[in-house]
Structure 1
Protein backbone atom coordinates (compact mmCIF):
# COMPACT_ATOMS: atom_id res chain seq x y z
CA UNK A 1 0.00 0.00 0.00
CA UNK A 2 1.01 3.62 -0.56
CA UNK A 3 0.26 5.96 2.31
CA UNK A 4 -0.08 9.73 2.50
CA UNK A 5 3.27 11.61 2.27
CA UNK A 6 5.18 8.40 1.50
CA UNK A 7 8.39 9.21 -0.40
CA UNK A 8 10.03 5.78 -0.56
CA UNK A 9 9.38 2.50 -2.35
CA UNK A 10 6.90 -0.08 -1.11
CA UNK A 11 8.23 -2.58 1.39
CA UNK A 12 9.53 -5.41 -0.83
CA UNK A 13 7.49 -8.60 -0.78
CA UNK A 14 9.52 -10.33 -3.52
CA UNK A 15 13.18 -10.56 -4.47
CA UNK A 16 12.26 -8.65 -7.64
CA UNK A 17 11.46 -5.45 -5.74
CA UNK A 18 14.21 -5.94 -3.13
CA UNK A 19 16.86 -6.04 -5.87
CA UNK A 20 15.25 -3.08 -7.65
CA UNK A 21 15.48 -0.95 -4.49
CA UNK A 22 19.11 -1.99 -3.93
CA UNK A 23 20.00 -1.31 -7.57
CA UNK A 24 18.23 2.07 -7.45
CA UNK A 25 20.30 3.05 -4.40
CA UNK A 26 23.56 2.02 -6.07
CA UNK A 27 22.74 3.91 -9.28
CA UNK A 28 21.79 7.03 -7.31
CA UNK A 29 25.10 6.84 -5.42
CA UNK A 30 27.00 6.59 -8.73
CA UNK A 31 25.01 9.54 -10.13
CA UNK A 32 25.79 11.61 -7.03
CA UNK A 33 29.50 10.81 -7.40
CA UNK A 34 29.53 11.73 -11.10
CA UNK A 35 27.63 14.96 -10.39
CA UNK A 36 30.11 15.87 -7.65
CA UNK A 37 33.12 15.34 -9.92
CA UNK A 38 31.59 17.26 -12.85
CA UNK A 39 30.39 20.12 -10.65
CA UNK A 40 33.82 20.33 -8.99
CA UNK A 41 35.45 20.58 -12.42
CA UNK A 42 33.15 23.42 -13.48
CA UNK A 43 33.74 25.19 -10.17
CA UNK A 44 37.50 24.90 -10.66
CA UNK A 45 37.27 26.34 -14.19
CA UNK A 46 35.18 29.26 -12.93
CA UNK A 47 37.66 29.86 -10.13
CA UNK A 48 40.56 30.00 -12.60
CA UNK A 49 38.60 32.45 -14.71
CA UNK A 50 37.90 34.71 -11.74
CA UNK A 51 41.53 34.81 -10.54
CA UNK A 52 42.85 35.23 -14.09
CA UNK A 53 44.80 32.01 -14.04
CA UNK A 54 43.40 30.79 -17.36
CA UNK A 55 42.56 27.21 -18.21
CA UNK A 56 45.42 24.98 -19.32
CA UNK A 57 45.06 23.50 -22.80
CA UNK A 58 46.36 20.24 -21.35
CA UNK A 59 42.81 19.56 -20.17
CA UNK A 60 41.24 20.02 -23.60
CA UNK A 61 43.98 18.78 -25.96
CA UNK A 62 45.43 15.94 -23.92
CA UNK A 63 45.32 12.34 -25.13
CA UNK A 64 45.28 11.18 -21.51
CA UNK A 65 42.30 13.41 -20.64
CA UNK A 66 40.34 12.25 -23.69
CA UNK A 67 41.08 8.62 -22.84
CA UNK A 68 39.97 9.03 -19.23
CA UNK A 69 36.70 10.85 -19.94
CA UNK A 70 35.84 8.16 -22.49
CA UNK A 71 37.05 5.12 -20.56
CA UNK A 72 35.69 5.97 -17.09
CA UNK A 73 32.03 6.34 -18.21
CA UNK A 74 32.34 3.08 -20.17
CA UNK A 75 33.57 1.27 -17.05
CA UNK A 76 30.76 2.75 -14.94
CA UNK A 77 28.12 1.63 -17.45
CA UNK A 78 29.67 -1.83 -17.69
CA UNK A 79 29.63 -2.22 -13.89
CA UNK A 80 25.97 -1.15 -13.77
CA UNK A 81 25.10 -3.60 -16.55
CA UNK A 82 25.61 -6.80 -14.54
CA UNK A 83 23.14 -6.03 -11.71
CA UNK A 84 20.66 -4.96 -14.37
CA UNK A 85 20.93 -8.36 -16.05
CA UNK A 86 20.32 -10.01 -12.67
CA UNK A 87 17.15 -7.95 -12.29
CA UNK A 88 15.99 -9.07 -15.73
CA UNK A 89 16.59 -12.69 -14.77
CA UNK A 90 14.58 -12.46 -11.54
CA UNK A 91 11.73 -10.66 -13.29
CA UNK A 92 11.54 -12.89 -16.39
CA UNK A 93 11.39 -16.65 -16.89
CA UNK A 94 13.94 -18.49 -14.79
CA UNK A 95 15.74 -21.74 -15.53
CA UNK A 96 13.83 -23.54 -12.78
CA UNK A 97 10.82 -25.77 -12.35
CA UNK A 98 7.76 -23.69 -11.53
CA UNK A 99 5.51 -24.81 -8.69
CA UNK A 100 2.50 -22.68 -9.69
CA UNK A 101 1.33 -21.56 -13.14
CA UNK A 102 -1.01 -18.58 -13.26
CA UNK A 103 -2.47 -17.04 -16.40
CA UNK A 104 -3.78 -13.45 -16.23
CA UNK A 105 -6.16 -12.36 -18.99
CA UNK A 106 -7.23 -8.72 -19.15
CA UNK A 107 -10.68 -7.63 -20.33
CA UNK A 108 -12.53 -4.36 -20.57
CA UNK A 109 -12.79 -3.91 -17.60
CA UNK A 110 -11.98 -6.83 -15.33
CA UNK A 111 -9.37 -9.53 -14.81
CA UNK A 112 -9.56 -13.26 -15.43
CA UNK A 113 -7.29 -15.67 -13.56
CA UNK A 114 -6.57 -19.25 -14.62
CA UNK A 115 -4.62 -21.74 -12.51
CA UNK A 116 -3.13 -24.60 -14.53
CA UNK A 117 -3.06 -27.67 -12.28
CA UNK A 118 -2.00 -30.48 -14.57
CA UNK A 119 -5.16 -31.95 -16.11
CA UNK A 120 -7.37 -29.72 -13.93
CA UNK A 121 -7.90 -26.01 -14.38
CA UNK A 122 -9.38 -23.35 -12.11
CA UNK A 123 -10.67 -20.15 -13.71
CA UNK A 124 -12.58 -17.17 -12.35
CA UNK A 125 -13.17 -13.47 -13.06
CA UNK A 126 -12.28 -10.62 -10.73
CA UNK A 127 -14.35 -7.40 -10.70
CA UNK A 128 -14.20 -4.19 -8.71
CA UNK A 129 -16.10 -4.60 -5.43
CA UNK A 130 -19.25 -2.43 -5.52
CA UNK A 131 -19.52 0.34 -2.93
CA UNK A 132 -22.57 -1.26 -1.32
CA UNK A 133 -20.58 -4.47 -0.70
CA UNK A 134 -17.69 -2.76 1.09
CA UNK A 135 -17.37 -4.13 4.62
CA UNK A 136 -14.81 -5.34 7.10
CA UNK A 137 -11.27 -4.55 6.00
CA UNK A 138 -12.12 -4.08 2.30
CA UNK A 139 -10.78 -0.90 0.68
CA UNK A 140 -12.95 1.42 -1.39
CA UNK A 141 -12.18 1.30 -5.14
CA UNK A 142 -9.27 -1.07 -4.50
CA UNK A 143 -10.78 -4.38 -3.45
CA UNK A 144 -12.38 -6.96 -5.71
CA UNK A 145 -15.08 -9.59 -5.40
CA UNK A 146 -12.62 -12.46 -5.97
CA UNK A 147 -8.96 -12.06 -5.10
CA UNK A 148 -6.10 -13.77 -6.88
CA UNK A 149 -4.65 -16.19 -4.30
CA UNK A 150 -0.97 -17.20 -4.34
CA UNK A 151 1.07 -19.48 -2.06
CA UNK A 152 3.88 -18.25 0.16
CA UNK A 153 7.47 -18.91 -0.87
CA UNK A 154 6.79 -20.85 -4.09
CA UNK A 155 8.19 -20.04 -7.53
CA UNK A 156 5.25 -18.84 -9.61
CA UNK A 157 5.11 -18.34 -13.37
CA UNK A 158 2.65 -15.64 -14.36
CA UNK A 159 1.52 -15.44 -18.00
CA UNK A 160 -0.12 -12.26 -19.31
CA UNK A 161 -2.42 -11.63 -22.26
CA UNK A 162 -5.49 -9.58 -23.22
CA UNK A 163 -8.77 -10.21 -25.00
CA UNK A 164 -9.35 -6.68 -26.35
CA UNK A 165 -6.96 -3.75 -25.84
CA UNK A 166 -3.61 -3.26 -24.10
CA UNK A 167 -3.80 -3.45 -20.30
CA UNK A 168 -1.08 -3.65 -17.66
CA UNK A 169 -0.92 -5.88 -14.56
CA UNK A 170 1.00 -3.96 -11.89
CA UNK A 171 1.58 -4.93 -8.25
CA UNK A 172 3.97 -2.34 -6.73
CA UNK A 173 4.81 -4.47 -3.67
CA UNK A 174 5.85 -7.32 -5.98
CA UNK A 175 7.91 -5.16 -8.32
CA UNK A 176 6.01 -6.77 -11.20
CA UNK A 177 4.55 -4.74 -14.06
CA UNK A 178 3.72 -6.49 -17.31
CA UNK A 179 1.70 -5.32 -20.29
CA UNK A 180 -1.18 -7.54 -21.40
CA UNK A 181 -1.20 -7.38 -25.20
CA UNK A 182 -3.88 -8.97 -27.43
CA UNK A 183 -2.52 -11.93 -29.38
CA UNK A 184 0.69 -12.16 -27.34
CA UNK A 185 1.66 -13.86 -24.09
CA UNK A 186 4.08 -12.17 -21.70
CA UNK A 187 5.63 -13.83 -18.68
CA UNK A 188 7.15 -13.08 -15.28
CA UNK A 189 8.45 -14.95 -12.24
CA UNK A 190 7.30 -14.22 -8.69
CA UNK A 191 8.18 -15.60 -5.26
CA UNK A 192 6.11 -13.94 -2.52
CA UNK A 193 7.94 -13.74 0.82
CA UNK A 194 5.17 -12.35 3.05
CA UNK A 195 1.58 -13.24 3.83
CA UNK A 196 -0.99 -10.51 3.20
CA UNK A 197 -3.16 -8.73 0.66
CA UNK A 198 -1.37 -6.64 -1.96
CA UNK A 199 -3.05 -4.20 -4.30
CA UNK A 200 -2.37 -2.87 -7.77
CA UNK A 201 -4.07 -1.37 -10.81
CA UNK A 202 -4.13 -1.52 -14.56
CA UNK A 203 -1.59 1.12 -15.60
CA UNK A 204 -2.52 1.42 -19.27
CA UNK A 205 -5.24 3.79 -20.46
CA UNK A 206 -7.57 1.02 -21.59
CA UNK A 207 -10.89 2.84 -21.90
CA UNK A 208 -13.67 4.57 -20.03
CA UNK A 209 -13.60 2.20 -17.01
CA UNK A 210 -9.81 2.02 -16.79
CA UNK A 211 -9.95 3.16 -13.14
CA UNK A 212 -12.35 0.38 -12.20
CA UNK A 213 -10.18 -2.69 -12.72
CA UNK A 214 -8.01 -2.90 -9.59
CA UNK A 215 -5.89 -5.92 -8.69
CA UNK A 216 -5.97 -7.65 -5.31
CA UNK A 217 -3.55 -10.51 -4.66
CA UNK A 218 -3.75 -12.46 -1.43
CA UNK A 219 -0.65 -14.40 -0.38
CA UNK A 220 -1.43 -17.25 2.02
CA UNK A 221 0.51 -20.12 3.64
CA UNK A 222 0.83 -23.27 1.57
CA UNK A 223 -1.74 -25.29 3.53
CA UNK A 224 -4.31 -22.49 3.14
CA UNK A 225 -3.55 -22.31 -0.58
CA UNK A 226 -4.13 -26.06 -0.96
CA UNK A 227 -7.42 -25.81 0.94
CA UNK A 228 -8.49 -22.88 -1.25
CA UNK A 229 -7.68 -24.85 -4.40
CA UNK A 230 -9.57 -27.91 -3.18
CA UNK A 231 -12.64 -25.89 -2.20
CA UNK A 232 -12.81 -24.00 -5.48
CA UNK A 233 -12.12 -27.04 -7.66
CA UNK A 234 -14.95 -28.92 -5.96
CA UNK A 235 -17.43 -26.03 -6.24
Structure 2
Protein backbone atom coordinates (compact mmCIF):
# COMPACT_ATOMS: atom_id res chain seq x y z
CA UNK A 1 0.00 0.00 0.00
CA UNK A 2 2.91 2.35 0.70
CA UNK A 3 4.18 1.80 -2.85
CA UNK A 4 0.69 2.35 -4.27
CA UNK A 5 0.46 5.69 -2.46
CA UNK A 6 3.92 6.69 -3.70
CA UNK A 7 2.96 5.81 -7.29
CA UNK A 8 -0.29 7.74 -6.94
CA UNK A 9 1.59 10.87 -5.78
CA UNK A 10 4.16 10.45 -8.56
CA UNK A 11 1.44 10.14 -11.22
CA UNK A 12 -0.54 13.03 -9.77
CA UNK A 13 2.50 15.32 -10.00
CA UNK A 14 2.89 14.49 -13.71
CA UNK A 15 -0.84 14.99 -14.35
CA UNK A 16 -0.78 18.34 -12.54
CA UNK A 17 2.18 19.53 -14.64
CA UNK A 18 0.37 18.51 -17.86
CA UNK A 19 -2.82 20.28 -16.77
CA UNK A 20 -0.94 23.50 -15.96
CA UNK A 21 0.87 23.43 -19.31
CA UNK A 22 -2.34 22.83 -21.32
CA UNK A 23 -4.22 25.50 -19.38
CA UNK A 24 -1.41 27.99 -19.99
CA UNK A 25 -1.45 27.20 -23.73
CA UNK A 26 -5.23 27.72 -23.88
CA UNK A 27 -4.91 31.11 -22.20
CA UNK A 28 -2.25 32.14 -24.70
CA UNK A 29 -4.49 31.13 -27.60
CA UNK A 30 -7.32 33.26 -26.24
CA UNK A 31 -5.44 36.46 -25.32
CA UNK A 32 -2.50 36.57 -27.73
CA UNK A 33 -2.78 36.78 -31.55
CA UNK A 34 0.92 35.92 -31.80
CA UNK A 35 0.34 32.60 -30.05
CA UNK A 36 -2.22 31.66 -32.71
CA UNK A 37 0.47 31.92 -35.38
CA UNK A 38 2.82 29.95 -33.08
CA UNK A 39 0.45 27.06 -32.39
CA UNK A 40 -1.47 26.73 -35.66
CA UNK A 41 0.13 24.79 -38.52
CA UNK A 42 3.45 24.46 -36.70
CA UNK A 43 4.98 21.14 -37.79
CA UNK A 44 7.87 21.31 -35.32
CA UNK A 45 5.51 21.93 -32.42
CA UNK A 46 3.23 19.07 -33.49
CA UNK A 47 6.24 16.76 -33.53
CA UNK A 48 7.23 17.87 -30.03
CA UNK A 49 3.82 17.36 -28.47
CA UNK A 50 3.58 13.93 -30.07
CA UNK A 51 6.95 12.75 -28.76
CA UNK A 52 6.72 14.24 -25.26
CA UNK A 53 3.46 12.42 -24.27
CA UNK A 54 5.00 9.15 -25.42
CA UNK A 55 8.01 9.79 -23.17
CA UNK A 56 5.70 10.71 -20.28
CA UNK A 57 3.80 7.42 -20.72
CA UNK A 58 7.08 5.49 -20.55
CA UNK A 59 7.99 7.24 -17.28
CA UNK A 60 4.56 6.32 -15.87
CA UNK A 61 4.42 2.76 -17.21
CA UNK A 62 7.83 1.70 -15.92
CA UNK A 63 7.13 2.09 -12.16
CA UNK A 64 3.59 0.80 -12.73
CA UNK A 65 4.80 -2.48 -14.22
CA UNK A 66 7.39 -2.85 -11.49
CA UNK A 67 4.71 -2.35 -8.82
CA UNK A 68 2.40 -4.90 -10.46
CA UNK A 69 5.22 -7.44 -10.42
CA UNK A 70 6.04 -6.80 -6.75
CA UNK A 71 2.36 -7.13 -5.78
CA UNK A 72 2.04 -10.47 -7.56
CA UNK A 73 5.41 -12.01 -6.63
CA UNK A 74 5.57 -14.24 -3.54
CA UNK A 75 9.23 -14.99 -2.88
CA UNK A 76 10.02 -17.60 -0.22
CA UNK A 77 7.15 -16.80 2.18
CA UNK A 78 7.70 -17.33 5.89
CA UNK A 79 4.12 -18.47 6.37
CA UNK A 80 1.22 -19.63 4.20
CA UNK A 81 -2.35 -19.05 5.30
CA UNK A 82 -5.46 -20.24 3.51
CA UNK A 83 -8.49 -17.91 3.72
CA UNK A 84 -11.78 -19.59 2.76
CA UNK A 85 -15.02 -17.72 2.18
CA UNK A 86 -18.31 -19.13 3.48
CA UNK A 87 -21.82 -17.77 3.79
CA UNK A 88 -21.39 -15.57 5.87
CA UNK A 89 -17.95 -15.81 7.51
CA UNK A 90 -14.29 -16.54 6.80
CA UNK A 91 -12.21 -19.47 7.97
CA UNK A 92 -8.41 -19.64 8.14
CA UNK A 93 -5.98 -22.54 7.95
CA UNK A 94 -2.35 -22.31 9.16
CA UNK A 95 -1.15 -25.48 7.49
CA UNK A 96 2.50 -24.77 8.35
CA UNK A 97 1.67 -25.18 12.05
CA UNK A 98 0.03 -28.54 12.66
CA UNK A 99 -3.10 -27.68 10.69
CA UNK A 100 -4.30 -24.84 12.91
CA UNK A 101 -7.80 -23.93 11.74
CA UNK A 102 -10.45 -21.53 13.03
CA UNK A 103 -13.47 -19.57 11.88
CA UNK A 104 -13.93 -15.81 12.13
CA UNK A 105 -17.49 -14.55 12.67
CA UNK A 106 -18.61 -10.96 12.97
CA UNK A 107 -19.09 -9.73 16.55
CA UNK A 108 -22.65 -8.48 16.95
CA UNK A 109 -23.20 -4.90 18.05
CA UNK A 110 -24.49 -5.82 21.49
CA UNK A 111 -21.34 -7.89 22.17
CA UNK A 112 -18.78 -5.25 21.17
CA UNK A 113 -16.23 -4.05 23.68
CA UNK A 114 -15.55 -0.33 23.95
CA UNK A 115 -13.31 0.72 21.07
CA UNK A 116 -14.15 -2.14 18.71
CA UNK A 117 -15.59 -0.99 15.35
CA UNK A 118 -19.16 -1.95 14.53
CA UNK A 119 -19.60 -4.50 11.69
CA UNK A 120 -15.81 -4.90 11.35
CA UNK A 121 -14.78 -6.81 14.48
CA UNK A 122 -14.51 -10.62 14.46
CA UNK A 123 -14.34 -13.14 17.27
CA UNK A 124 -11.04 -14.52 15.93
CA UNK A 125 -8.24 -12.56 14.24
CA UNK A 126 -5.89 -13.70 11.51
CA UNK A 127 -2.61 -13.23 13.42
CA UNK A 128 0.63 -12.79 11.48
CA UNK A 129 4.20 -11.80 12.43
CA UNK A 130 5.66 -8.41 11.57
CA UNK A 131 8.35 -7.95 8.92
CA UNK A 132 7.88 -11.36 7.33
CA UNK A 133 6.55 -12.20 3.87
CA UNK A 134 3.19 -13.95 4.18
CA UNK A 135 1.42 -15.81 1.39
CA UNK A 136 -2.37 -15.93 1.54
CA UNK A 137 -4.28 -18.51 -0.53
CA UNK A 138 -7.89 -17.48 -1.08
CA UNK A 139 -10.80 -19.72 -2.05
CA UNK A 140 -14.50 -20.26 -1.40
CA UNK A 141 -16.79 -23.16 -0.54
CA UNK A 142 -20.04 -21.84 -2.01
CA UNK A 143 -20.29 -18.62 -4.04
CA UNK A 144 -17.96 -15.83 -5.14
CA UNK A 145 -16.50 -13.79 -2.29
CA UNK A 146 -13.77 -11.17 -2.21
CA UNK A 147 -11.08 -10.92 0.49
CA UNK A 148 -10.36 -7.20 0.72
CA UNK A 149 -8.31 -5.09 3.15
CA UNK A 150 -8.22 -1.50 1.82
CA UNK A 151 -5.50 -0.26 4.19
CA UNK A 152 -3.14 -2.94 2.83
CA UNK A 153 -4.10 -2.39 -0.81
CA UNK A 154 -5.43 -5.94 -1.14
CA UNK A 155 -8.55 -7.16 -2.92
CA UNK A 156 -8.62 -10.69 -4.27
CA UNK A 157 -11.55 -12.86 -5.36
CA UNK A 158 -12.45 -16.07 -3.56
CA UNK A 159 -13.72 -18.49 -6.21
CA UNK A 160 -15.14 -21.99 -5.53
CA UNK A 161 -12.80 -24.70 -6.77
CA UNK A 162 -9.93 -22.30 -7.42
CA UNK A 163 -7.00 -20.96 -5.39
CA UNK A 164 -5.95 -17.34 -5.81
CA UNK A 165 -2.93 -16.01 -3.97
CA UNK A 166 -1.68 -12.70 -2.67
CA UNK A 167 1.16 -11.61 -0.39
CA UNK A 168 1.46 -9.54 2.77
CA UNK A 169 4.40 -7.77 4.36
CA UNK A 170 3.37 -5.62 7.30
CA UNK A 171 5.93 -3.43 9.07
CA UNK A 172 3.64 -1.75 11.62
CA UNK A 173 1.92 -3.59 14.45
CA UNK A 174 -1.83 -3.18 14.74
CA UNK A 175 -5.24 -4.28 13.52
CA UNK A 176 -6.14 -4.08 9.84
CA UNK A 177 -9.83 -4.30 8.96
CA UNK A 178 -11.56 -5.41 5.79
CA UNK A 179 -14.77 -6.94 4.46
CA UNK A 180 -16.06 -9.12 1.69
CA UNK A 181 -16.36 -6.69 -1.23
CA UNK A 182 -18.19 -9.02 -3.59
CA UNK A 183 -22.00 -8.91 -3.72
CA UNK A 184 -22.18 -12.57 -2.74
CA UNK A 185 -25.62 -12.48 -1.18
CA UNK A 186 -27.86 -10.72 1.34
CA UNK A 187 -25.30 -10.78 4.17
CA UNK A 188 -22.08 -10.21 2.23
CA UNK A 189 -21.42 -6.95 4.11
CA UNK A 190 -21.38 -8.92 7.39
CA UNK A 191 -18.24 -10.87 6.50
CA UNK A 192 -15.52 -8.75 8.15
CA UNK A 193 -11.80 -9.50 8.09
CA UNK A 194 -9.37 -8.61 10.88
CA UNK A 195 -5.62 -9.05 10.48
CA UNK A 196 -3.60 -8.65 13.66
CA UNK A 197 0.08 -7.92 13.01
CA UNK A 198 2.23 -8.66 16.07
CA UNK A 199 5.94 -9.01 16.90
CA UNK A 200 7.57 -12.35 16.20
CA UNK A 201 7.68 -13.48 19.86
CA UNK A 202 4.02 -12.62 20.34
CA UNK A 203 3.15 -14.61 17.23
CA UNK A 204 5.04 -17.66 18.53
CA UNK A 205 3.19 -17.42 21.85
CA UNK A 206 -0.12 -17.25 19.96
CA UNK A 207 0.82 -20.31 17.91
CA UNK A 208 1.66 -22.19 21.10
CA UNK A 209 -1.74 -21.25 22.51
CA UNK A 210 -3.51 -22.52 19.39
CA UNK A 211 -1.59 -25.81 19.53
CA UNK A 212 -2.64 -26.21 23.16
CA UNK A 213 -6.28 -25.58 22.29
CA UNK A 214 -6.12 -28.18 19.51
**Is the shorter-chain TM-score for this pair beyond 0.5, marking a shared fold?**
yes
Name whichever of 146-155 and 131-140 sits farther off. Answer: 131-140
The answer for the alignment partner of 1:62 in structure 2 is: 42
- Kept in 1: contact 2:28–2:35 (CA 8 A): no
1:76 paired with 2:56, answer yes
Alpha-carbon distance between aligned partners in 1 of 2:5 and 2:162, rounded to the nearest angstrom:
29
- Kept in 2: contact 1:90–1:189 (CA 8 A): no
Alignment deviations for residues 170-219 of structure 1 (CA, whole Å, 9 cap, x no partner): 21221222122223222212111111111111112111001211111111
The answer for the alignment partner of 1:133 in structure 2 is: 111
Alpha-carbon distance between aligned partners in 2 of 1:194 and 1:59, rounded to the nearest angstrom:
53
1:86 CA drift (Å): 2.5
The answer for the alignment partner of 2:132 in structure 1 is: 154
Alignment deviations for residues 79-137 of structure 1 (CA, whole Å, 9 cap, x no partner): 1112112221332123x21101011111221111111216x311111110122321244
Alpha-carbon distance between aligned partners in 2 of 1:54 and 1:194, rounded to the nearest angstrom:
54
1:60 CA drift (Å): 3.9
The change in CA–CA distance for 1:67 and 1:116 in structure 2 (over 3 A counts) is: farther
Alpha-carbon distance between aligned partners in 2 of 1:70 and 1:116, rounded to the nearest angstrom:
55
Computed over aligned residues only, the root mean square deviation of the Cα atoms, in angstroms, reads 1.8
Specify the SS of the correspondent of 1:55. Answer: helix
The answer for the alignment partner of 1:23 in structure 2 is: 7
Alpha-carbon distance between aligned partners in 2 of 1:73 and 1:107, rounded to the nearest angstrom:
47
Specify the SS of the correspondent of 2:36. Answer: coil
Q: Alignment length, in residue pairs?
A: 213
Alpha-carbon distance between aligned partners in 1 of 2:86 and 2:44, rounded to the nearest angstrom:
59
1:152 CA drift (Å): 0.9
- Kept in 1: contact 2:136–2:168 (CA 8 A): yes
1:174 paired with 2:152, answer yes
1:67-216, aligned counterparts within 5 Å?
Answer: 67-94=47-74, 96-117=75-96, 120-216=98-194
Alpha-carbon distance between aligned partners in 1 of 2:27 and 2:52, rounded to the nearest angstrom:
21
Specify the SS of the correspondent of 2:151. Answer: helix
The answer for the alignment partner of 1:34 in structure 2 is: 18
Unaligned runs of 5+ in 2: none
Normalising to structure 2: TM-score of the pair?
Answer: 0.91
Specify the SS of the correspondent of 2:95. Answer: strand
The answer for the alignment partner of 1:14 in structure 2 is: none
Alpha-carbon distance between aligned partners in 2 of 1:195 and 1:170, rounded to the nearest angstrom:
19
Alpha-carbon distance between aligned partners in 2 of 1:72 and 1:183, rounded to the nearest angstrom:
47
User: Which structure would you say has the larger RCO, counting Cα contacts within 8 Å and 6 or more residues apart?
Assistant: 1
Alignment deviations for residues 43-85 of structure 1 (CA, whole Å, 9 cap, x no partner): 111113xxx55822x6343332222222111111111112112
